[in-house]
Structure formats: C-alpha cells, structure tokens
C-alpha cells in the first residue's frame, strides 16, 4: 500500500464506498516497517491527516482502500460486500493480536509491551505444521500471515494460519474462522511452544 493511501474510486465501481478508517487496538512500533503492498492487518495513517488517538496505533483500511487493494490483486470484489467484509477483516486481525498478546505475556517486562513492527501476507507459502496437518486429512489454511512484533527493541516473528471454522447451525451465514497463532520456529519460539504445551 502506498504511503499516502489510495482512496479514489476504482474504475467500474458500482457505488461510492466509505473512506473512513478505524483505529485498531494494535500498537505501532516507532520503527514500523512496510512489507510491501498489503491491506492487512492495518495501515499507518498519513501523518497529515492523522488523528491524535491514532498516533501510536495501526489504522485499518477504509472500505475504498480495501476494495482497491482487492482490485490490484486481480480479485473480483463487489462494492456491496465491503460493508460486511471490512468489519470481518478488522475483527479477525484483532483476534490475531489477542493471541499474540497471550504468547507475549510469558515475556512481560518493564517496557511498554509488544508493538507490531511489520506484517507480511504469505498465502502461497504453506507452513510445515499446516502441511503435516493436511497429510493427516485436515484442510489447508486459506491464508497465512507473518507478524513481527517489537519486544523491547527485539524483533520477534509470529506465524498465523487462517482456517475456515465450523458453521453455526443457528446462523449458517455467519463467518467462522480458526486462527493458529504461534511463534516462528526459532530456538526461542520452539522453547515458548514447549512451555505452553507443558503448561508452564
């Protein structure tokens, strides 16, 4: 996504979309790094128009930005769907951050806590864990992200696999997702996974 977000209507767009953006609950690292074109999980707001409450937080894309990003990726978005898709996108990313905070609670320190440094979409790169699960008969994730947090000046990478969840029979149209969030398989990440598995 460009530094100044693209909010102009796309060619062939059926009707006007909102350009309003929502402030996330995800703190932004002072040295945040763009990881290339992406609409996920959130985008820093252009400083000229930044609101005071958004200064230290990541900002979610507007309906128009999300629509434009999908068009750039050669998907076939429907403008009518944006009012539903964007809030779901935001809610899923809030859940991702909540899972990361659970992992990071094992590393509580005197600093201000973890902040999101960068994010990358890697939908075509299947993780070893997801590949193993597929060999056991489970579905492959429909998406993958790598999020890197700043832990008191130290970059720590997390891997997130996105799976379709079980449908609610009482509300079959409601979206359902399962998020497998865990530290990347470094020496420290492996240790954290073992600690969590053993419950300490």
Q: Give the residue among 115, 136, 112, 140 at the shortest CA–CA distance from 126.
A: 140
pLDDT band at 116 (very low <50, low <70, confident <90, very high): very high
Global pTM reads 0.82
Handedness of CA 148, 149, 154, 159 (dihedral sign): negative
Edge-to-edge strands of the sheet including 143-151? Answer: 115-121, 143-151, 154-164, 177-183
State mean pLDDT over 9-26. Answer: 88
Torsion of Cα atoms, 103 then 126 then 84 then 54, to 10°: 50
- Output 97 or 43, whichever has higher pLDDT: 97
Which residue ranges make up each domain of the chain? Answer: 23-198
Backbone phi, psi, residue 175, to 5°: -70, 150
CA distances in angstroms from 141 to 42, 64, 124, listed in the order given: 21, 27, 10
What is the tens place of the pLDDT at every residue in 149-176? 999 889 999 999 999 877 666 765 566 7
pLDDT band at 69 (very low <50, low <70, confident <90, very high): confident
Would you say 158 and 147 are in contact if contact means Cβ atoms under 8 Å apart? yes
Rounded Cα gap, residues 98 and 177, in angstroms: 14
- pLDDT value for 3: 42
Highest mean pLDDT pick, 42-56, 100-114, 145-159:
145-159
- pLDDT value for 44: 52
Q: Please give the mean pLDDT across all residues of the chain.
A: 82
pLDDT band at 37 (very low <50, low <70, confident <90, very high): very low
Handedness of CA 179, 180, 184, 187 (dihedral sign): positive
Burial class from Cβ neighbours inside 10 Å (0-12, 13-18, 19+) for residue 197 reads exposed
pLDDT band at 2 (very low <50, low <70, confident <90, very high): very low
* Assigned token pair, 68: 């434009």
What is the tens place of the pLDDT at every residue in 174-188? 667 899 999 999 999
Rounded Cα gap, residues 63 and 153, in angstroms: 33
Would you say 140 and 132 are in contact if contact means Cβ atoms under 8 Å apart? no
pLDDT > 60? residue 104: yes
Torsion of Cα atoms, 189 then 178 then 38 then 58, to 10°: -70
- Output 157 or 74, whichever has higher pLDDT: 157
């Amino acid at each position: 996504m460009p530094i100044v977000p693209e909010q102009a209507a796309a060619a062939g767009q059926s009707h006007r979309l909102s350009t309003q953006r929502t402030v996330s609950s995800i703190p932004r690292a002072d040295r945040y790094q763009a990881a290339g074109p992406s609409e996920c999980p959130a985008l820093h707001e252009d400083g000229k128009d930044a609101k005071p409450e958004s200064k230290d937080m990541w900002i979610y894309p507007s309906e128009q930005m999300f629509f434009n990003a999908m068009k750039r990726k050669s998907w076939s978005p429907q403008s009518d769907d944006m009012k539903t898709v964007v809030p779901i996108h935001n809610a899923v990313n809030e859940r991702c951050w909540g899972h990361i905070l659970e992992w990071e609670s094992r590393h509580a320190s005197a600093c201000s806590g973890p902040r999101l440094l960068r994010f990358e979409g890697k939908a075509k790169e299947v993780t070893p864990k997801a590949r193993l699960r597929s060999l056991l008969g489970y579905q492959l994730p429909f998406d993958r992200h790598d999020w890197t947090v700043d832990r008191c000046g130290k970059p720590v990478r997390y891997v997130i696999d996105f799976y379709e969840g079980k449908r609610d029979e009482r509300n079959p149209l409601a979206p359902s997702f399962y998020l497998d969030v865990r530290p990347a398989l470094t020496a420290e990440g492996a240790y954290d996974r073992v600690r969590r598995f053993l419950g300490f």
